[in-house]
């Protein structure tokens, strides 16, 4: 309330100023017309008679055009052109009015209108420019942290405006750096664009720079790594703007500077979903999410709530994870009906109850065990959860005529060397086979590692760095594909909306990332020096791990889809008899804790090559 009142007072002060300069311009035009000498009485009386109308018309014109909305401290060429437009409109209306009232302008010299436009425009523009000049001199002389902005584009310009408006005494912006040679030598609001970012160290030494702000929200991973590397070598504090995807989603504002995160350096172009198609597919539907408390499952719930699913059923076996996502959903999406169900996907009776009770129209099956080395020693539980758990939920989806069933798979299912990957491949095969005999549309979405997910490599490295090291990397040549949790969830929704029955959709993961370089980058982001302050230790491959993951099998020739970030993997046919036989065999051996369970998996996934 106070802020809006202050703004209103400020606007009316501008209106009052512009009203006061109108008489000066109007009478000054007459004075100039008569060569700065005495104005004849009859013309002087005509000028005074017309003055109230002139002030009224010009003020209305200024308000109509919006001259009073501009900030004097940041007046720009667009503001000045707006003033000129308002003055010309006002002068035109005044001339027409006086032509009608004052006997065809009998006592108003025609040249007065030209002079009036020139004088009024000069007074209105000049006062604003003078005010800005005084303020900018004040800013340049003031104390505050000396700041260099990397990026002289639209984001950098807007960042400069935001900092001057909201933190006028905290930051002193001294220069821009930009890679575009055509920009060098120019100015943005009187701040020079001096050179490319490569000279940052020289500027720091010369001007005692305190802070560097990276204002390139659209930078790709290579560009961002380069800029961050320059900042790190300069040993100066640096921050970055939110990424383009965060700005577009409305989660943050342009001025919300933050520390550089690892997902900035693995930067990926923002996902541009066909929200209309996704909404048409899921809006006003009851959706069941298994594994709803996990990293992918919880993000799926958030994204589903944003596309207006009317009822989201959260199914998870972890009480705490279920409680946490339930509380978040209730707080963030109060208009969405959320139902938490504590249960195990391997419990057929519990799963049946969920389908009977809530009758979901779509199912996103994200429940799975995922930790590769751990599962190598937990054969029964891995197969039970990842393979049989999938069969139970898939069968119930088929029996209840669910519209679509989306299986969340992994790149580890391709030529698997781990039990986890082999089980996920078995789950893929089962869903593809069931699609041939069901009205339910079965869709599989396959992707690689997710940044920041529970138990993943990034949180592990961060914890090791916090404890002082060493950071443990299994092999110096190990690579992995990465994407953010939000991107993975959004692409899953897109694939579910566009997906064809029984198909495997592979998300574009970009280029694989060298894990040793990832560790080094995280150490630098923490302000430490790799192998000096924080040691990187290579420990060797763990059971089930491969050096390099693959996103598709050689027999799964990738095809493009209408969406550039989603590819289609050609289906590999497996006989229904073999699938049924293997699953029946698995069920029998599970009850007996048979140690030969992994042999059943090999029958369906002959490419499974266990690595000890």
Cα distance between the two ends of the chain:
68
496 and 469 in a common domain: yes
114 and 75 in a common domain: yes
pLDDT for the residue 246 = 44
pLDDT for the residue 244 = 42
| Within a domain: 188 | yes
Alpha-carbon distance values, 326 to 81, 304, 308, 318, 332 (Å): 54, 14, 17, 12, 10
| Within a domain: 576 | yes
For the chain, what is the domain count? 3
Alpha-carbon distance values, 30 to 92, 95, 425 (Å): 17, 14, 89
DSSP state of 479: E
CB 481 within 8 Å of CB 491:
no
From the list 50, 120, 133, 132, the residue with the least C-alpha distance to 85 is 120
Overall pTM surpassing 0.85 (yes/no): no
| Within a domain: 299 | yes
Alpha-carbon distance values, 111 to 86, 132, 524 (Å): 19, 32, 69
179 and 33 in a common domain: no
Dihedral class, residue 136 (left if φ above 0, else alpha if ψ from -120 to 50, else beta): alpha
Domain finish residue from 103, 138, 173: 138
| Within a domain: 268 | no
| Within a domain: 610 | no
The whole-angstrom separation of Cα 559 and Cα 568 is 5
343 and 309 in a common domain: yes
CATH number at residue 378: 3.40.50.720
| Within a domain: 267 | no
Give 558: exposed, middle or buried? Use CB within 10 Å, 0-12, 13-18, 19+. middle
CA torsion angle 342 348 351 353 (round to 10) = -100
From the list 186, 235, 187, the residue with the least C-alpha distance to 209 is 235
489 and 345 in a common domain: yes
From the list 85, 5, 496, 482, the residue with the least C-alpha distance to 287 is 496
The whole-angstrom separation of Cα 295 and Cα 314 is 13
**What is the mean pLDDT for each group of 10 consecutive residues in the chain (612 residues)?**
51 80 84 79 76 84 78 68 86 80 67 84 84 61 73 82 74 84 79 83 79 78 76 76 46 48 56 68 86 89 82 93 93 89 93 94 92 86 91 94 91 85 89 88 83 70 82 84 78 79 74 79 74 82 74 66 72 79 84 74 81 54
177 and 288 in a common domain: no
596 and 452 in a common domain: yes
Domain finish residue from 237, 260, 283: 260
The whole-angstrom separation of Cα 338 and Cα 286 is 10
| Within a domain: 535 | yes
The whole-angstrom separation of Cα 508 and Cα 488 is 10
CB 434 within 8 Å of CB 398:
yes
pLDDT for the residue 316 = 94
Please give the helix or strand (H or E) that residue 561 lies within, else none. Answer: none
109 and 146 in a common domain: no
Domain finish residue from 230, 260, 290: 260
Expressed as residue numbers, the domain containing 232 is 142-260
The whole-angstrom separation of Cα 53 and Cα 58 is 8
| Within a domain: 39 | yes
236 and 251 in a common domain: yes
Q: Is the dihedral of CA 185, 188, 192, 197 positive or negative?
A: negative
The whole-angstrom separation of Cα 50 and Cα 94 is 9
193 and 177 in a common domain: yes
Q: Is the dihedral of CA 80, 83, 85, 91 positive or negative?
A: negative
Distance of CA 358 to the CA centre of its chain: 33
353 and 456 in a common domain: yes
558 and 473 in a common domain: yes
Residue 367, token pair as written in the block = 């429940």
- Secondary structure of the chain: what % helix, strand, coil (to 5)? 50, 15, 35
């Amino acid at each position: 309330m106070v802020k809006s009142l202050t703004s209103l007072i400020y606007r009316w002060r501008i209106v009052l100023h512009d009203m006061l300069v109108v008489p000066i311009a109007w009478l000054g035009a007459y004075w100039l017309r008569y060569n700065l000498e005495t104005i004849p009485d009859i013309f002087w009386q005509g000028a005074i008679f017309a003055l109230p109308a002139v002030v009224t018309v010009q003020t209305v014109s200024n308000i109509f055009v919006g001259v009073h909305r501009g900030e004097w401290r940041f007046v720009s060429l667009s503001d000045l052109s707006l003033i000129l437009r308002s003055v010309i409109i006002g002068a035109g209306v005044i001339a027409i009015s006086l032509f009608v009232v004052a006997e065809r302008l009998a006592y108003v010299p025609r040249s007065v209108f030209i002079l009036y436009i020139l004088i009024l425009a000069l007074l209105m523009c000049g006062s604003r420019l003078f005010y800005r000049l005084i303020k900018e001199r004040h800013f340049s002389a003031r104390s505050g942290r000396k700041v260099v902005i990397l990026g002289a584009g639209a984001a950098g310009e807007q960042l400069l405006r935001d900092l001057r408006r909201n933190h006028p005494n905290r930051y002193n912006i001294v220069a821009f750096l930009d890679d575009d040679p055509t920009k060098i030598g120019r100015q943005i609001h009187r701040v020079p664009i001096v050179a490319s970012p490569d000279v940052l160290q020289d500027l720091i030494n010369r001007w005692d720079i305190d802070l560097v702000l990276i204002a390139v929200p659209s930078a790709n991973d290579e560009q961002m790594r380069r800029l961050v590397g320059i900042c790190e070598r300069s040993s100066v504090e640096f921050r970055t703007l939110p990424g383009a995807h965060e700005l577009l989603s409305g989660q943050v504002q342009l001025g919300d500077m933050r520390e550089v995160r690892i997902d900035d350096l693995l930067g990926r172009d923002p996902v541009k979903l066909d929200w209309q198609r996704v909404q048409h597919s899921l809006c006003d539907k009851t959706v069941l999410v298994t594994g709803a408390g996990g990293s992918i499952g919880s993000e799926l719930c958030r994204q589903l709530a944003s596309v207006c699913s009317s009822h989201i059923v959260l199914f998870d076996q972890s009480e705490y994870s279920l409680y946490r996502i339930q509380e978040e959903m209730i707080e963030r999406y109060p208009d969405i009906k959320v139902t938490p169900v504590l249960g195990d996907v391997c419990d057929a009776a519990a799963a049946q109850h969920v389908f009977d009770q809530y009758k979901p129209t779509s199912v996103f099956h994200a429940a799975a065990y995922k930790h590769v080395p751990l599962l190598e020693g937990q054969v029964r539980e891995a197969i039970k959860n990842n393979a049989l758990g999938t069969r139970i939920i898939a069968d119930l989806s088929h029996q209840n005529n669910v519209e679509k069933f989306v299986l969340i798979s992994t790149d580890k299912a391709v030529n698997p060397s781990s039990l986890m990957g082999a089980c996920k491949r078995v789950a893929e095969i089962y869903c593809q086979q069931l699609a041939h005999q069901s009205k339910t549309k079965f869709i599989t979405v396959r992707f690689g590692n997710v940044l920041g997910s529970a138990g993943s490599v990034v949180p592990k490295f961060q914890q090791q760095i916090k404890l002082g090291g060493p950071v443990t990397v299994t092999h110096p040549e190990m690579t992995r594909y990465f994407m953010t949790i939000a991107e993975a969830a959004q692409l899953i929704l897109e694939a579910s909306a566009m997906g064809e029955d029984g198909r495997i959709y592979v998300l574009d993961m970009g280029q694989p990332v060298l894990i040793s370089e990832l560790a080094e980058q995280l150490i630098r982001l923490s302000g430490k020096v790799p192998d000096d302050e924080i040691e990187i230790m290579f420990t060797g491959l763990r059971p089930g791990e491969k050096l390099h993951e693959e996103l598709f099998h050689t027999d799964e020739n990738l095809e493009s889809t209408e969406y550039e970030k989603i590819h289609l993997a050609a289906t590999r046919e497996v006989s229904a008899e073999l699938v049924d036989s293997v699953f029946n065999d698995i069920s029998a051996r599970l009850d007996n804790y048979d140690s030969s369970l992994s042999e059943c998996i090999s029958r369906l996934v002959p490419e499974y090559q266990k690595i000890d």
